[in-house]
Amino acid sequence: MATTVQEKTKTTKPANGKAILVPPTISVRELAELMSISPIEIIKKLMSNGIMANINQIIDFDTVAIIGEEMGYEVAAPEVIEVEAPQKEVIIPLQKRLIASEDPARLKPRPPVVTVLGHVDHGKTSLLDAIRHTHVVKGESGGITQHIGAYQVRMGERTITFLDTPGHAAFTAMRARGAQATDLAVLVVAADDGVMPQTREAIEHARAAGVPILVALNKIDKDNANPEKVKQELANAGLVPEDWGGDTICVPLAATKNQGIDELLENILLVTDVANLQANPDRLAQGMVIEGKLDKRCGVSATLLVQNGTLKVGDVVVIGSQYCKIRAMFNDRGKPIKKAGLSVPASILGLPDVPDAGEFFEAVENEKIARTIVEARRAQTRQAQTAAPKRIVTLEDFFKLRGQNGDQTLKLIIKVDVQGSLEPIVNSLKDLGGEHLKVKTLLEGTGNISESDVNLAVASGAIVVGFNVEVDSAAQRLAETEGVDVRRYNIIYRLIDDIDKALKGLLEPVYRDKLIGRAEVRAVFKAGKSQVAGSYVLNGQITRNTIAHVLRNNAVLHESKISSLKRFTEDVRDVAAGYECGIGVDGFTDFQQGDIIEAYVKERVN
């Protein structure tokens, strides 16, 4: 993140075309103009150095010096008069960085974007519901028909955009993501409970994002409500209320009774008006991914928050290492729209894969530019994947193999059903292990476990973990062939517990017998001191060296291994249903016509 420059200097191009004067910080767009080259060339060079950037990214002098030298430029810093600056670090929010290079004459006022944070059970959901149902956009009183992670409400002639982030402690990263995208954090604190650990955590997220905090003092109607005690706790946490001589606005309300909602919205507008929120609506859109999901009916959809420019149906959008042409777009009520303006949340269709929440998106001029950016990013990803050492390991074997070869990192590929499940799992895994034992997530994503996921596990020696997802048939075959450990869970805590046990060497494999085929004995032949059962395979297949159960009158007589399997006089590995074969079972010489031989394999359950 770039810091504030106290003394402005002009970025002029000297007579020597290969020498440039660069200030302490500069955007990619400005640097491209300075070098008289395309911004794409600079973006590609930054990517080759491990820096993901967009055209409005602010980069520092040291970075410019490195890539400038590689591109044949002599980079120098102009002389500036040093001005004493305060030691306090100045945080530049994403929104301000986006509009830093915009023409001030093109900037227009935009609606504020607000995130509601707070401790679980303090009434955040009740507050959001109260706002939603009492201030829906005019003409759309039918309510929200789909949840896209964000919505807009009206207050008089003004609009406010709310981001709906979960309130439980497990969703720390999602709450932090919400705060980073917003202009104001509304902190919900119950008047009958006070400041709790998650409340303090939410305060830190908002401060880290550099956004102001407004306190919603909820449940003020409760008999045991003690607002003065809560204000004291807020003051101890650094949020001194206005009526105590501080600068934090505290709005008393009772969300379940719709009391104080208007006052809260008025104060939201009051606080955000001071910031003079502006952006340029007359340009290609930029912003942040709020939510991504895979729907069986519609395919991949993503909720985007437009922070600069205007997003339109038909625009080409780049998100991470993918791009698409927007096929359709819907507002927060589920109604089709042609364009989305400043601070508007919109759900789009057309992406090939589910994007990560919190990713930056940008509309570009055409698909050629988008393809160039995406191909460069994918090449970098492939290079990182192929550089990883190849070693297949199961979760149960990890601790033992660690002792043998010194490997101290458990590599995981994580696939989940929806984006909302991903972040709590990943962040819980980060807390596992210790100084010498780490969990590294090579890939995080939504959707079923695919063949490409297994290929990555083969190349990197990783374990594939799925939560509420299926395994594609091609992926299942490849995993069995390559010996990749693919594990599926439907309970988060069990997933975390298994990983924790694996790190401590406590996880033991659990197996069960899986029936793969049945054969009927139709003749018995002598083969030296042993017997061969001339059999007909009824279903499935009979495979040599698998476990055999010999049944007579539905009772198991013997259990051991299939020691021999023949078709006529030839030894074979397996025989499919509908064919005859000769079966020899280790240690059993009492076959009778009509016996049933069942073949089993051991299948790991956990």
* 103: in domain: no
Is the confidence at residue 509, as pLDDT, over 90? no
**Confidence (pLDDT) at 206:** 73
Q: How confident is the model at residue 484 (pLDDT cuts 50, 70, 90)?
A: confident
Q: Among residues 422, 283, 401, 277, which one has the least CA distance to residue 354?
A: 422
Residues 530 and 553 in one domain: yes
Identify the CATH number of the domain in which residue 150 sits: 3.40.50.300
Q: What is the CATH number of the domain that holds 326?
A: 2.40.30.10
Pair 519, 501 in one domain: no
- Over residues 345-359, the pLDDT tens digits come to 999 998 998 887 778
Tokens encoding 427 = 């962040």
In a domain, 4, yes or no: no
Which of 488, 509, 530 is the last residue before a domain boundary? 509
Split at pLDDT 50, 70, 90, the class of 434 is low
pLDDT higher than threshold 50 for residue 538: yes
Residues 129 and 78: their CA atoms lie apart, in Å, by: 55
* 12 falls within a domain: no
Residue 326 belongs to a domain: yes
Could you tell me the residue range of the domain that residue 428 belongs to? 398-509
The secondary structure of 298-331, three-state, reads CEEEEEEEEEECEEECCCEEEECCEEEECCEEEC
- Return the CATH number at 457: 3.40.50.10050
Contact 316, 370 (CB under 8 A): yes
Within-domain flag for 71: yes
Residue 97 domain-assigned? no
Alpha-carbon radius of gyration of the chain: 31
Q: What residues contact 549, with CB distance under 8 A and at least 6 apart?
A: 556, 558, 559, 597, 598, 600
Same domain, 367 and 492: no
Give the confidence band of 363 by pLDDT, cuts at 50, 70, 90: very high
What mean pLDDT is predicted for residues 509-527? 88
Residues 245 and 333 in one domain: no
**Domain shared by 78 and 197, yes or no:** no
Among candidate residues 44, 61, 90, the one where a domain is terminated: 90
Last residue within a domain, chosen from 509, 524, 542: 509
**Among 3-17, 95-109, 545-559, whose mean pLDDT is lowest?**
3-17
Q: Taken in order 31, 34, 38, 41, is the CA torsion positive or negative? A: negative
Mapped onto helix, strand or coil, the DSSP state of residue 293 is strand
Shared-domain flag, residues 117 and 261: yes
Q: 281 lies in a domain?
A: no
Whether residues 247 and 125 share a domain: the answer is yes
Domain count, the chain: 5
Q: Are residues 336 and 264 in the same domain?
A: no
Does one domain contain both 218 and 310? no
Cβ neighbour number for residue 493 with a 10 Å cutoff: 9
Same domain for 186 and 249, yes or no, is: yes
Q: By three-state DSSP, how is residue 404 classified?
A: helix
C-alpha atoms less than 13 angstroms from C-alpha of 243 in its C-beta half-sphere? 8
The reply to whether 574 and 519 lie within a common domain is yes
Q: Same domain, yes or no, for 502 and 523?
A: no
> Would 579 be classed as within a structural domain?
yes
